[in-house]
Amino acid sequence: MRSFLRQLAPACIALIVLTVLTGVIYPLAVTAVAQVTFHDKANGSIVTVNGKAVGSALIGQQFAAEQYFHPRPSAAGVGYDGSRSSGSNLGPTNPALLQVVAERVASYRAENGLADTQMVPVDAVTASASGLDPHISIANARLQAQRVATARGLTLEIVLAAIGRHIDDRPLGILGDPGVNVLELNISLAKAG
């Protein structure tokens, strides 16, 4: 019994020390570094308009009206549900995915006044892996520009210039492709006219 107690004391001390180190000190240190070096991102990159939070620049949200740029489709819950972030997990030859993509292509062409032969960017008809991607491709934004310009009573040149101002570079300069943040672009256009 005595040898058991001798072994139990160091085990309990190790548990307490490691709990304090990994459960208290380390998270506080990471939070402090994040607040100092990446304050905006560490706090969710909240976008405000007139002092009111309207979303996050890091998480997509649904825009359906004609005067807004539309994000890529979402597979997260009923759409853009942060608690259900997920892709569809359907493979590229799955008949269900092919059917959904074909329907989305037809819908995209119809809502943007495109010809039946017009190529549609893949991000316009497929969900991202998280289902919460806040960006669309530059090609996707440009194909939506005429619809948005008409709905807002703006010239196409003004809308294309706004797209150009809201292009984000590749993450870390090498990953993925440049994209357009839908929320920030829509806010910019709402302020413009």
CA angle at 165 for the pair 161 and 171, rounded to the nearest 5°: 140
Same domain, 141 and 105: yes
Same domain, 106 and 11: no
Left if phi > 0, otherwise alpha if psi is -120 to 50, otherwise beta: which for 76? beta
Same domain, 54 and 12: no
The predicted pLDDT at position 193 comes to: 66
Same domain, 126 and 97: yes
Domain residues for the domain of 13 are 1-43
Same domain, 65 and 156: yes
Q: Which residues share a beta bridge with 47?
A: 55
pTM over 0.75: yes
Number of domains in the chain: 2
Q: Are 156 and 189 in contact (CB under 8 A)?
A: no
Same domain, 69 and 26: no
Element housing 55 (H / E): strand 52-56
For 124, half-sphere exposure in the C-beta direction (CA atoms, 13 angstrom radius) is 25
- Divide the 193 residues of the chain into consecutive groups of 10 and give the mean pLDDT of each group: 82 94 94 86 80 82 90 79 74 89 94 94 88 90 96 94 92 86 92 75
Same domain, 84 and 11: no
Distance CA 183, CA 178 (A): 16
Q: Which residues share a beta bridge with 181?
A: 135
The predicted pLDDT at position 39 comes to: 80
Which tens digit of pLDDT belongs to each residue from 44-63?
A: 778 888 888 878 888 888 88
> Among 143, 144, 140, 137, which residue's Cα sits nearest to residue 179?
137
Same domain, 142 and 161: yes
Same domain, 120 and 103: yes
Same domain, 16 and 74: no
The predicted pLDDT at position 42 comes to: 78
Same domain, 31 and 85: no
Same domain, 18 and 50: no
